[in-house]
Amino acid sequence: MMSRHVKPAPGGLETDQFSWFARMRHEAPVYVDPRSGVVSVFGYDDTQRVLSDYASFSSERGAHNPTEEQALSASLISSDPPRHRQLRNLVTQAFTPRAVAQMEPRIAAIVAELLDQLCAHGQTPADFIEEFAVPLPVTVIAELLGVPAERRVEFRRWSDTVVSTGGAGGWQSAATAQREMASFFGQMIAQRRAEPRDDLISQLVAAEIDGQRLTSVELIGFCILLLVAGNETTTNLLGNAVLSFEEQPETWERLRAEPNLIPSAIEEVLRYLSPVQSMYRSARGEQRLGDITTHPGQFIVAWIGSANRDEARFSDAERFDIARSPNRHLAFGQGIHFCLGAPLARLEARVALEALLQRARRAQVAPDARLEWVDSTIVYGVKHLPVTIMPA
Ligand code: HEM
Testing ligand 1's pocket by substitution, the residue of 141, 268, 282, 339 carrying the most ligand atoms inside 8 A of its CB is 339
Confidence of residue 2 (pLDDT cuts 50, 70, 90): very low
Q: What's the pLDDT score for residue 65?
A: 73
For the 62-274+334-391 domain, the top CATH level (class) is mainly alpha
Helix (H) / strand (E) element for 105: namely helix 104-119
Q: How many CB atoms lie within 10 A of CB 181?
A: 25
Output phi, psi for 278, to 5 deg: -150, 150
Tell me, using a 6 A CB cutoff, whether residue 51 lines ligand 1: yes
For position 168, what pLDDT does the model report?
47
78 CB less than 6 Å from ligand 1? no
358 or 146, which is more confident: 358
Residue 378 Cβ inside 6 Å of ligand 1? The answer reads no
331-344 pLDDT per residue, tens: 999 999 999 999 99
Percent of the chain whose predicted confidence (pLDDT) is above 90: 74
d(CA 334, ligand 1 centre) in Å: 10
Judged against a pLDDT cut of 60, whether residue 144 lies above it is answered with yes
* Ligand 1 and 345: CB distance under 6 A: yes
Locate the domains of the chain by residue range: 62-274+334-391
Comparison of pLDDT for 94 and 360, the residue scoring more: 360
Indicate if the pLDDT at residue 206 is higher than 60: yes
Distance CA 199, CA 196 (A): 8
| 37 backbone φψ class: left, alpha, beta (φ>0; ψ -120 to 50) | left
Q: How high is the mean pLDDT of the chain?
A: 92
Give start and end residues of each alpha helix (H) in 165-315. 170-194, 200-206, 216-247, 250-257, 262-272, 304-307
For residue 257, report the distance from its CA to the centre of ligand 1, in Å: 32
pTM of the model: 0.95
**pLDDT band at 1, cuts 50/70/90?**
very low
Q: Which one is predicted more confidently, 162 or 268?
A: 268
Q: What is the per-residue pLDDT for 171?
A: 60
Q: Atom 34 in ligand 1: which residue has the minimum CA distance?
A: 340
Contact 165, 375 (CB under 8 A): yes
Please say if the pLDDT value at position 172 is more than 80. no
User: 373 alpha carbon to ligand 1 midpoint, in Å?
Assistant: 21
Ligand 1 binding pocket includes 59 (Cβ within 6 Å)? yes
Beta carbons within 8 Å of 21's beta carbon, 6+ residues apart: 42, 303, 305, 306, 309
The pLDDT value given to residue 213: 86
CA 103 to chain centroid: 20
180-208 average pLDDT score? 93
Q: Which residues are registered as beta bridge partners of 41?
A: 30, 302
Q: Tell me which residue has its CA closest to atom 38 in ligand 1.
A: 337
